[in-house]
Structure 1
């Protein structure tokens, strides 16, 4: 049964298939490396500044 299926159907695009334009290397690094790092640092900074516990 598996041998009868046609893999050629994967080459035709569906109506809803709309691939996005490719990202440049800088855009990829910014989106997947720099943005999460900046967000982590902002959240960490806010937690440290707004910390209400007593310092030792």
Structure 2
């Protein structure tokens, strides 16, 4: 969540978008996705943040 906000300026929720972004970053860092372009489809996430306001 923090990485996406700091580097690209988009907000993710801590469950679905946050986990999918973390998974994609892990695949890139471990070399399982290498040598090409990667498209991450950010489908929102900020709308769900109200459900996690107590975190």
- TM-score between the two structures when normalised by the length of structure 2: 0.33
**Greater relative CO (CA pairs within 8 A, separation 6+):** 2
- TM-score between the two structures when normalised by the length of structure 1: 0.32
Which structure shows the higher helix fraction?
A: 1
